[in-house]
Amino acid sequence: AGSGQLAKLCNQAIVGINIIAVSEALLLAAAGGADPAAVRKAITGGFADSMILQVHGQRMIERKFLPGGRSQVHLKDLNSVMDAAHASKLTLPLSEKTREIFKYLVEIGGGRYDQSAALLAIEHMNKPARVGTAPDTLPTD
């Protein structure tokens, strides 16, 4: 792969890992009795702040999973990340686990959903834990 393709794969690995981290953090907050929106607001501006926390974290709290970037496309990219890693004889445990979670999301029907819907896969693994009480907004196409 060329430098441009590798840069894209690096970006997708970082984005995917961060989406999973935000999903886990918001679910931990909710399961522990804290308001996930308040926790998100409290850590915004600190070292854990990121565009993922700001944009995808808000989508998770609002449970609006209409696609900006579809989960099935992110899974394809994560497969490419792991192919590149194997070609370079690398072990990337966080990227591998992130790929497994996105694969699970696609398997449970979330392939057309936004990447932030990775939260649904994390919740599915931790039933009945859930972030918020809002109904899910999902694509209808």
Clarify whether 8 is annotated catalytic.
Answer: yes
Please state the pTM of the whole predicted model.
Answer: 0.95
* Class of residue 129 by CB neighbours under 10 A (exposed 0-12, middle 13-18, buried 19+): middle
Output the pLDDT for position 38: 98
Given a cut of 80, whether residue 141 has pLDDT beyond it is no
Any idea where the domains of the chain sit in the sequence? 3-125
**Digit-coded pLDDT (tens) for 41-82:** 999 999 999 999 999 999 999 999 998 899 999 999 999 999
| CATH number belonging to the domain at 3-125, selected among 2.170.16.10, 1.10.10.10, 3.30.450.40, 1.10.1040.10 | 1.10.1040.10
**Digit-coded pLDDT (tens) for 87-102:** 999 999 999 999 999 9
